[in-house]
Structure 1
């Protein structure tokens, strides 16, 4: 009589038992492309993926900065900033998803592990604790500047390479969203009296 490993035995209790602790091989290493018939050669797709992965890493960090500051903001403008920072975080998360999915549509691998993101990002690490509000907002503006630089370089590259879908994502979604968020955050750093002029 043959003995089966418990993980492959049929469940006789009628319950669905997951097969746990599975291991597998990496089926596509980071930095490689699979062939997809989308009318762009491999060099163009590789250039776009590299550019988008830098943007993705920086956008992920910007998202987490927004969440950190949303949780830790203090002071007279707490309520307004608490809501605004969360709204901006949600908008950044949407962009993160769009960027990652575009990389996949190009046949690449989107940067996704937080440790890998931390290695690649150009955004400086903030202190672990809470900062004063002006410092938090300034930190967000500095991070936005890096993301905007990534997006503009990517838009120029994809325009030159004829990758119109990636270019459209950058010019119609990433840049306008970040520019609007910069405007809102920068407006909170204008030194104007609260009640008297």
Structure 2
């Protein structure tokens, strides 16, 4: 249905067809958890399993992304500058994999989890406090969150291989898992208890 706005001009009443229609609402044309058929030569049961797995990874990855941003903003101490930049870089990299995972859900005919309150209900990652923790606690939280995502990714790799969903398997194997493992390594090394500088005694 087209909304028409009528205005008066020297030529009389003029109809404006380009008037935007604001405050539109609709019933859900596809509910979360439903699948629409896609010609992918995969059984519906396999697609359903893979969509559920991917949505869990989307929820956990979004939570990990937000955890990185929280700690990026709240970073303190003598390593502030280095960690402030590193955490933001990791967040940007994770954001790209979130898009890959979410779009794969849609390609399979599913509905991607998206809104913060829905993500908060689904994620398996522990909720942090609103306030600022010390730096080791922040970094430890990130490592634990990575471990949760990595476990889910490995389960997804096995599941997608069993279900012969090779595209999903490739995304998880070549894009998501290597990044998660690399970032875990980077953050873990900041938790090694070593002095900033060491001095060799002469004598």
User: SS state of the match for residue 111, structure 1?
Assistant: coil
Alpha carbons 1:31, 1:108 under 8 Å: kept: yes
**Shift of the alpha carbon at 1:16?**
4.6
Equivalent residues in 2 for 1:62-81, closer than 5 Å: 62-81=64-83
CA–CA separation in structure 2 for the residues paired with 1:34 and 1:50: 14
Any unmatched runs of 5+ in structure 2? 8-13
Higher RCO (C-alpha 8 Å, min separation 6): 1
CA–CA separation in structure 1 for the residues paired with 2:166 and 2:119: 26
Equivalent residues in 2 for 1:101-140, closer than 5 Å: 101-140=103-142
Q: Give the equivalent residue in structure 2 for 1:192.
A: 194
Work out the number of aligned pairs and report it: 191
Alpha carbons 2:60, 2:125 under 8 Å: kept: yes
**Shift of the alpha carbon at 1:40?**
1.1
Any unmatched runs of 5+ in structure 1? 1-6
* Bigger radius of gyration among the two: 2
**Shift of the alpha carbon at 1:15?**
9.3
CA–CA separation in structure 2 for the residues paired with 1:48 and 1:121: 17
User: SS state of the match for residue 91, structure 1?
Assistant: helix
Q: Give the equivalent residue in structure 2 for 1:4.
A: none
TM value normalised by structure 2: 0.90
User: SS state of the match for residue 178, structure 1?
Assistant: helix
TM value normalised by structure 1: 0.93
More strand by share: 2
The alignment status of 1:10 with 2:5, answered yes or no, reads: yes
CA–CA separation in structure 2 for the residues paired with 1:176 and 1:103: 20
**Shift of the alpha carbon at 1:173?**
0.7
**Shift of the alpha carbon at 1:11?**
5.1
**Shift of the alpha carbon at 1:195?**
1.3
Distance 1:17 1:188, change over 3 A: same
Alpha carbons 1:11, 1:17 under 8 Å: kept: no
CA–CA separation in structure 1 for the residues paired with 2:73 and 2:6: 46
**What is the root-mean-square deviation in Å for CA atoms of aligned residues?**
1.5
Distance 1:15 1:70, change over 3 A: farther
